A and B are shown apart, each in its own frame.
Chain A
């Protein structure tokens, strides 16, 4: 650690955690959809991008206040996700996995082109209550945007936990993901439940996009973060919700530190090196249970 002060290391750690939260949220979206429907949604990162642009549009074009735009964009994306499942993805149920993969990759392209037609390809930004602010805790200076990402993620995870643990719909989602046939005869409308899972995933992606916006600014390619989030989901075990968030945090932190301690260029590939190592050493991931998946 020669030459680095504690303050700088803490700073790096916080930056890493903030980035990791975003990966974690996108990874959580992957995992939710995968657990429920056994589909891998490669357009998850692009849902994040659309969520950020929706908030941008509401703030800049409709001059809404940040919080109202936040809520509006998340709700819009949730409805969007619901319709995506009912109108498009339900058509490929029963088709080979490959069809779903191609379909969601295709949808990702569609979303990026759609966004660039509406909002152009230049980088956009909107003002948030956190932009440029700092909070001093003890001797450390923390950027408010990073703080907002960490706190926002914590609140969202808490809400999701309560939702899955206590609510009728949340429990129904867990049931439907374990056994669809049995779920039907417990009175669970399985198809609607799956669409709601898509709605939640898209809503979570939108939250991630809006929290990320002041840090990375918005353009049509920010959805590529989905690739690193995919690595996070694999690290966590691809079937585990806490695993996804934890995997995101690990990758975020590793990325920050490899940018400092390893030669130039390692920062961008750190996530993929981690995914390779995980696949070699522990293919089921840290929290994984894919090995005992129902057949």
Chain B
């Protein structure tokens, strides 16, 4: 079953075609990875999907619905979460508060009942807290629960951002270079978690990644981009042995 589909996506910045006629679809339960050399347009595709940029041409579909015009803040309500290459957390808040904000899209109730913190609100808050605790357990963040983000090491922040995305209970998780800035050991952990996110939580993952070890380990399908165009699409080994891909990476 197709969960997400990009159809003939294109965007121009000035006269430059950063992304040009990119089409692909992501099946439910897959880990789908976009690779490519620097400047290939990977992050641009990502920003198009998460609606930071408006495509010049083409359409995006999520669960069969056209989401090309959906505002970025409504992406979360649809069930799409994302992380950022350079980490975007609420730095002057604790890990717990960051994760609870991941529940924002699921909060309900009117202003008065919230201000008075009525029993119904209390109950809802406890349920949110429970969800958050599940994620904390899942990603082994117990130790950092009450730490302010500014005091966390980089690697831990990366995991917190992943945790916050999981707290939104997404159907599709967009990961922008999950291994960037991580050391080898942390990258191995990340591969392990992406595996579990798909297998245990059943969440479809669409990621941009350049660490080929991680890509090979977790991806079901790989899309190679260069100069904003699709070079190859297939299994990790198919794509890596594709002559165009080899040429793009090694030159020549």
Query: Which residue numbers of A lie inside 8 Å of B, CB to CB?
Result: 159, 162-163, 166-169, 171-172, 174-175, 178-179, 181-190, 289, 292, 294
Question: Smallest distance from the beta carbon of B119 to chain A beta carbons, Å?
Answer: 13
| Cross-chain contact A182 with B88 (CB below 8 angstroms) | yes
Question: Smallest distance from the beta carbon of B208 to chain A beta carbons, Å?
Answer: 16
Residues of A within 8 A of B92 (CB): 178, 289
Question: Smallest distance from the beta carbon of A35 to chain B beta carbons, Å?
Answer: 11
Query: Which residue numbers of B lie inside 8 Å of A, CB to CB?
Result: 50, 71-77, 81-82, 84, 88-93, 101-102, 104-105, 107-109, 111, 114-117, 121, 150, 164-165, 168
Q: A187-B74, A187-B77 are in contact. Are A168 and B90 (CB under 8 A)?
A: no
Q: A186-B168, A187-B73 are in contact. Are A166 and B114 (CB under 8 A)?
A: yes
Residues of B within 8 A of A188 (CB): 73, 104
Question: At the interface, is chain A mostly helix, strand, loop or mixed?
Answer: helix
| Cross-chain contact A168 with B93 (CB below 8 angstroms) | no
Residues of A within 8 A of B101 (CB): 171, 175, 186
| Cross-chain contact B89 with A179 (CB below 8 angstroms) | yes
Complex Cα distance A189/B70, Å?
12
Contact of B90 among A159, A179, A292 (CB under 8 A): A179
| Cross-chain contact B115 with A189 (CB below 8 angstroms) | no
Residues of A within 8 A of B77 (CB): 187
Question: Smallest distance from the beta carbon of A149 to chain B beta carbons, Å?
Answer: 23
Beta-carbon nearest neighbor of A180 in chain B: B88
Residues of A within 8 A of B121 (CB): 166
Q: A178-B91, A179-B90, A186-B105 are in contact. Are A166 and B117 (CB under 8 A)?
A: yes
Contact of A179 among B88, B102, B114 (CB under 8 A): B88
Residues of A within 8 A of B88 (CB): 179, 181-182, 185
Complex Cα distance A206/B168, Å?
38
Question: Smallest distance from the beta carbon of B171 to chain A beta carbons, Å?
Answer: 14
Contact of A181 among B84, B102, B105, B117 (CB under 8 A): B84
Residues of A within 8 A of B104 (CB): 168, 171-172, 175, 186-188
Complex Cα distance A145/B121, Å?
37
| Cross-chain contact A166 with B115 (CB below 8 angstroms) | yes
Beta-carbon nearest neighbor of A293 in chain B: B92
Q: A187-B105, A187-B168 are in contact. Are A167 and B71 (CB under 8 A)?
A: no
Complex Cα distance A71/B135, Å?
44
Beta-carbon nearest neighbor of B72 in chain A: A184
| Cross-chain contact A182 with B90 (CB below 8 angstroms) | yes
Given contacts A182-B90, A184-B73, 15 further A-B contacts (CB under 8 A): A159-B115, A162-B116, A171-B104, A175-B90, A178-B90, A181-B88, A182-B89, A184-B75, A185-B82, A186-B101, A187-B75, A187-B77, A187-B168, A188-B73, A289-B92
Beta-carbon nearest neighbor of A172 in chain B: B104
Beta-carbon nearest neighbor of A163 in chain B: B115
| Cross-chain contact B50 with A185 (CB below 8 angstroms) | yes
| Cross-chain contact B91 with A185 (CB below 8 angstroms) | no
Question: Would you mind naming 20 contact pairs between A and B with Cβ atoms under 8 Å apart?
Answer: A162-B116, A163-B115, A167-B114, A167-B115, A168-B114, A169-B111, A171-B101, A172-B104, A174-B93, A178-B90, A178-B91, A178-B92, A181-B84, A181-B88, A182-B84, A185-B165, A186-B101, A187-B76, A187-B77, A187-B105
Residues of A within 8 A of B111 (CB): 163, 167, 169
Beta-carbon nearest neighbor of B106 in chain A: A187
